[in-house]
Amino acid sequence: MKLLVAVVLVAGLAGVAAWGGEAFTGDEHMGTCVFEKLTGQDYKFCRGDLEVFYPELGDVGCTYIPKCNQYRKRISKEWHSPKIAYPQADKNKKYVLIMVDPDAPNRANPKYRFWRHWVVIDIK
């Protein structure tokens, strides 16, 4: 059995901001949010068209989650787990999905580097 390990940045799921990668306009609670795709070094983790879908936000795969509308808090404390889709998946194989933060708690002090938030196994 071949396993595919897909690594999803916390910046996309758990709402931990990468250094300066976030963008928003307006008031944090009432503003218009601007979602930006990951770039540079962070983008290297995003390949293979992994879709991370929250009903409240849509597909946020490979995207910085802005601070506005308390999205970061809501993702980690209020909303259910996202729906994950990997279009290239072979229906005859099983997969593993691991969500890690490669520089927790932040890039300046990554003392909990590669913090594992969760692991899902035997995905078909």
3-state secondary structure 43-61: HCCCCCCCEEEECCCEECC
Cα 13 to the chain's mean position, in Å? 3
Higher model confidence: residue 16 or residue 108? 108
Q: Residue 9 pLDDT > 60, yes or no?
A: no
User: What is the pLDDT at residue 31?
Assistant: 58
Q: How confident is the model over 26-78, as pLDDT tens digits?
A: 344 455 788 888 888 778 777 778 898 999 889 988 888 888 889 888 988 89
* DSSP string across the chain: ----EEEEEHHHHT-PPPTTT--B-S-TTTSPB--EE--HHHHTT--S--EEEETTTEE-TTEEPPSGGGHHHHHHHTSPPPEEE-TT--TTS-EEEEEEETTSSBTTB-TTTTEEEEEEEEE-
The pair of structure tokens assigned to 109 is 């002090």
DSSP-assigned beta bridge partners for residue 9 = 100
Mean pLDDT of the chain: 74
The pair of structure tokens assigned to 82 is 């996202």
User: What is the pLDDT at residue 111?
Assistant: 92
Higher model confidence: residue 77 or residue 1? 77
Q: How confident is the model at residue 101 (pLDDT cuts 50, 70, 90)?
A: confident
